[in-house]
Structures are given as structure tokens and as C-alpha cells.
Amino acid sequence: MAVEKVGIYRKWLEPVPERNGRPIPKSEWPKRRRHRWIVRWCGTDNKKYGRVFRKRKEAERYALELQPEVILGRADKPRKVTIHDFIREHEVVMKGQVAYATLRDHLRALRLFEKFIGESCILSRIKPRHAEAFVAHRLSTVPSVASVNKDIRTLKSIFNRAIEPRGYLAEGQNPFGRIKERKKTESEIRYVTVDEYHALVNATEKIWWHALFSLAYGSGLRRGEILHLTWADIDFENQRIKVNAKKSAEDILEWEPKNRKNRVVPMSDQSSRLLANIQAQAPETHPYVFVSPRRLERIKERRKTKKWNPRSELVNNLTRDFNVIRRRARIAECTMHDLRRSAITNWAQRLPIQVVQTLAGHSNIATTRKYYLAVRFEDFVTAGKLLNSILTKTRDN
């Protein structure tokens, strides 16, 4: 068991002086024998550690700061590991802890940094200047500032894990810890108006698309959430939809919602009618709302032969077909995710921000504020009327 007490001792730098051929008394050592002060402690691995200081006050100050870390078991010296070995370990230990796409992004950023700094570089020798140089390199090779900022956020998070719980870096040694994201002009948030929504619906006769548009624009569901819906998730009586994780079964594919949080969202009358019509035409035992029986059988066959990638699309060519409908509707460029953003913006006109956050399934309310509360055309009109009213009063006065 590790000793939790931090000790301060003299470290003698030379042999004991002699007088008349005999060693001087021990009481005279501090005055006649050069020394330093050493702080010693024992780690959780029962290894003994120490740090030398010139003055006793410096040693005492360090020991006072170190004592709580020793008690908590966080004062071990960082273990040496190369960036290459750290990446290999990260890939293994994070599998299952984060979503597949998140892990893939982690590995992408780490390998870019490894290529820049060298695979044999020891993790504890990486300094903030190396991180700054990497960011400068990325800015010179990647046109998108947003991509570089994403690399900064990703690597900062990963190196925090190298501190705790892995113990490869000491507290405060994250090389990306104080690297600030580069400023960029925020792109305009695309708000899909009600008229544009109806234009999309009218541009196709397929009820399948009508229902998908309705759930994205009315219930604010993500694309993956819509495609993984099963009939068990639809509560027709209370007009609600459950966004729940799915465990792997014979006819069900394993799936986790973003942020790994189940939630319930409202369903409009229109969505309820459309889903009821789809259910009436679906085979009785088929579990999925938007995945066809034929497609599900194909996925099951590939899963049996281990050729199915969980990140593959449940429905093929969805983006391509959406763009065909959008162009037919003659509306400006937008994405399916813009339908979700617009739904959240619509909610924000009447509901408190914390309710909007819950319905949207955001783990951070800052995401709700930053990316989803778009300014609508009606807001510009209202602002203009208010401005005219103020100026009219000023002129009358």
C-alpha cells in the first residue's frame, strides 16, 4: 500500500568532512556539508518518487501542493508511451465508449498529428509549441477554418484522457489545453419556411416521403432517428414518438441515439395520419417504419456474412433522392437536417429554451442557441415594424 505522507529531506551532495582524520559530528553536517532539499513520496504503484530543490521553502511549498494529489492517488510520474502506441491503445479502449463516427474522427485527428510530429515521439514530450505548429500547418493546407477548429477540439479532448484516467501526462500538460480556436465568419443558418415545406411535400406523390418530411419538420427528428423508428416507438394514442436505443435482435439492428439519450417528442395530426396509412400497407410482422421489408432482408443477409457495416445507410441514396425532390420543388439549397433545425426554431418561438433543448435532444444548451435558433423572415418583418414605430414616435416628439 502506498504511503500517503509527503516527506522533505536533505540530499547530501558530498562525503562527510573529516577533522583530525575523523568524520565531523552529525550536528555539524548542515553547516559544513553541501546539500539540497528533496521532496519524496510513494505512488499508487509503490514506486518512490522525488524532486530536488535548492531551498527548503521551495520544497515545503511544493510538498504542500503535492500532498492532496498523493492522497487522491494522482501523483504518479507519467508513464512513457509514444504517440503511435497511444493511438493504438485509444482505438481499443474507446470502442464502445463513444459512437463509431466519434471514434473515427478521433483516429483521423490523431493520425494527422502523428504524421506531423513523428510516430516515435514520446507523449509527455509534446509541448504547446508543437500543438501551435500543427495548427499552423493545418491552416496552411486545409482551406476550412472550421475543420481546423474541429481538430483543435478533438485533440484537446483526447489529450485530456491521456491525463486522466490513463496517466501518460501530468495535470496541466495537455499540449492543446490553451490553444484557442481560430475565428471564422459563421455561415448563415438555413431556415425552411412553411411554404417551402409544403412545396417539398407537393413535389412528390410518395407517402413515404410525406411522412419523413413531416417528422423532420414537425417533430425535429434527426435523419438517423427517423430511419431507425419502429412501430413500437409510435404512440398513436398520445401522439408521441419515442426515440429509443435498439438492442440487436433477429429483425432489429443495434442502434444508439446521439448523446446516448432516449427521449420523447410530440407528433402532429398530419404525421399521425401519414404513419397510420403507412402502417396499413406494411406487413404485419415488419418492425421498421421507413426501412422496407426487402431492404431489411438484404441487411440481414449481409449481417449473417459479416459484410454489414453498422455505419452503412439503412436507406440507399436518400440524399440524392431528397435533392431531386428539392430541385423539383424549386426551393433554395437545403438539407434534411435543415428541416430539423427549422422545427427547433419554430418551437423556440413559443417554448422555453430548456424545453426546446430537451425536445431536440441536445446535451448542451449552447448548441440549441448557436445552431438552431435561426432568424426567420417573419422576424425581420417584425423588427422592421418595430423600427418604424420607434422612428415615427421620435419624429412626432
CB atoms within 10 A of CB 210: 20
Q: Is the peptide bond before 128 cis (omega within 30 degrees of 0)?
A: no
Q: What is the pLDDT, as a whole number, of residue 381?
A: 78
Q: How many domains does the chain have?
A: 3
Same domain assignment for residues 98 and 63: no
- Same domain (yes/no): 148, 270: no
Residue 155, Cβ neighbours under 10 Å: how many? 22
Residues in a beta bridge with 38: 9, 52
Q: What is the pLDDT of residue 119?
A: 94
pLDDT at 186: 74
Q: What pTM did the predictor assign?
A: 0.70
How many angstroms separate the CA atoms of 268 and 276, rounded? 12
Taking the alpha carbons of 273, 275, 276, 277 in that order, is the dihedral positive or negative? Answer: positive
- Angle 178-179-183 from CA coordinates, rounded to 5°: 130
Average pLDDT, the chain: 90
Cα distance between residue 283 and residue 161, in whole Å: 48
User: Mean pLDDT throughout 215-219?
Assistant: 95
Average pLDDT over residues 199-204: 97
pLDDT of residue 1: 42
Higher pLDDT, 78 or 206: 206
Answer whether residue 128 is part of any domain: yes
If asked whether residues 140 and 284 sit together in one domain, one would say no
Q: What local confidence, expressed as pLDDT, does residue 373 receive? A: 74
- For 122, the domain range is 83-163
Res. 361: pLDDT tops 60: yes
Domain boundary among 163, 184, 214: 163
**In this structure, are 27 and 98 located in the same domain?**
no
Residues 237 and 317 in one domain: yes
CB within 8 Å of 133: residues ≥ 6 apart? 116
Digit-coded pLDDT (tens) for 111-142: 999 999 999 999 999 999 999 999 999 999 98
389 lies in some domain: no
Look at residue 24 and tell me if it is in a domain.
yes
CB atoms closer than 10 angstroms to residue 108: 13
Is residue 390 in some structural domain?
no
Q: How far apart are CA 86 and CA 74, in angstroms?
A: 20
Q: What is the pLDDT of residues 264-305, one digit of tens each?
A: 999 999 999 999 999 999 999 999 999 999 999 999 999 999
Position 52 scores a pLDDT of: 94
Residue bearing cell 474507446 = 94
User: Residue range 63-79: average pLDDT?
Assistant: 81
Note whether 231 and 289 are within 8 A (CB): yes
253 neighbors 312 (Cβ within 8 angstroms): no
In this predicted structure, the answer to whether residue 236 has a pLDDT above a threshold of 90 is: yes
Kindly state the cell numbers that stand for 196. 417551402
Classify residue 288: in a domain, yes or no.
yes
Same domain as 40, residue 107: no
Task: Encode pLDDT of 151-194 as tens digits.
Answer: 999 999 999 999 888 888 888 899 999 999 988 877 788 899 99
CATH number of the domain where residue 231 is located: 1.10.443.10
**pLDDT score for 171:** 81
HSE of 239, CA atoms in CB hemisphere, 13 A: 12
Which of residues 11 and 378 earns the better pLDDT score? Answer: 11
Residue 122 sits in the same domain as residue 43: no
User: Does 66 share its domain with 142?
Assistant: no
Among residues 179, 157, 160, the alpha carbon closest in space to that of 171 is found at 160
